[in-house]
Amino acid sequence: MIELTNITKNYVRGAEQVQALRGIDLNIAGGEFIAIVGCSGSGKTTLLHILGCLDKPTSGNMRIDGADVAKLPEAKLVRIRRERIGFVFQQFYLIPGLTVFENIALPLVFNRKPKDRDRVMALIELVGLAHRVKHSPSQLSGGEMQRVAIARAMVNNPQVIVADEPTGNLDTATSEKIFALLQALHGTGLTIVMVTHNPDLAGRVGRVLEMKDGRIM
């Protein structure tokens, strides 16, 4: 579904030229659950951002369902993000002033879609927060916040979930539950790419990519 060929990514950090990715070749089939591991600075988050069409590679080819996306302008990439990709972050990034329901519905606003109440409610049920619909994020635990973020990533019916250390801020028990939720979503046919520092979780997914110095080992 996603094909990367010889992808490189350079960026400037201060006075320094960083070679974050140095030739990545990767094929992701639909319905895969992939964990990307590696130490910090190895390029795993950069790779995830490129897979999520949030960042553009410096060189190389990238195809999604056969269509070349490596050189698409931002205006086209944003449409891919809206329609096909769901993002989950380590710090959840919920909007404090909005309720659980409104946070989950937020991508619909940017996608110019009507607020589909049934769909949002179904997602809230799916992530197990039916009793929290009108709560604000400040009333939730870390695990609950990540559940909201996962529901938000799902609201546009994406093909791929890209998750950047989704359990990085959670304790072991809560991490297990979030991981179980991701596994359940994977069970419905969704493709999941997850960056993680947790070797135990990484060991339980379909494929593990270990990165070092911008390359997949």
Euclidean distance between CA atoms 97 and 118, whole angstroms? 22
Stretch that binds other proteins, among 27-35, 61-69, 108-116, 200-208 (CB under 8 A): 108-116
Between the two ends of the chain, the Cα-to-Cα distance in Å is 22
The distance from CA 23 to its chain's CA centroid, rounded to whole angstroms, is 22
The distance from CA 122 to its chain's CA centroid, rounded to whole angstroms, is 20
Euclidean distance between CA atoms 83 and 78, whole angstroms? 9
Task: Please give the structure tokens belonging to residue 90.
Answer: 């380590």
29, 109, 130, 184: which one binds other proteins (CB under 8 A)? 109
Euclidean distance between CA atoms 111 and 15, whole angstroms? 38
Ranges within 145-174 binding other proteins (CB under 8 A): 152-153, 156, 164
In the complex, least distance from residue 146 CB atom to other proteins, rounded to whole angstroms: 13
Q: Does 116 bind other proteins (CB under 8 A)?
A: no
Helix (H, G, I), strand (E, B) or coil at 99: coil
Q: Does 82 bind other proteins (CB under 8 A)?
A: yes
23, 61, 72, 89: which one binds other proteins (CB under 8 A)? 89
106, 121, 126, 133: which one binds other proteins (CB under 8 A)? 106
Q: Does 49 bind other proteins (CB under 8 A)?
A: yes
Stretch that binds other proteins, among 70-78, 176-184, 193-201, 202-210 (CB under 8 A): 70-78
Q: Does 93 bind other proteins (CB under 8 A)?
A: yes
Q: Does 44 bind other proteins (CB under 8 A)?
A: no
Q: Does 52 bind other proteins (CB under 8 A)?
A: yes
Residue 130 buriedness (CB in 10 A; 0-12 / 13-18 / 19+): exposed
Euclidean distance between CA atoms 217 and 214, whole angstroms? 9
Q: Does 110 bind other proteins (CB under 8 A)?
A: yes
Q: Does 45 bind other proteins (CB under 8 A)?
A: yes
User: How many residues belong to the site for other proteins (CB under 8 A)?
Assistant: 31
Exposed e or buried b per residue across 156-186, where buried means at least 16 C-beta atoms within 10 angstroms of its C-beta: bebbbbbbbbbbbbbeeebbeebbebbeebb
> What residue ranges bind other proteins (CB under 8 A)?
45, 49, 52, 54-55, 74-75, 78, 81-82, 86-87, 89, 91, 93, 95-98, 102, 105-107, 109-111, 115, 152-153, 156, 164
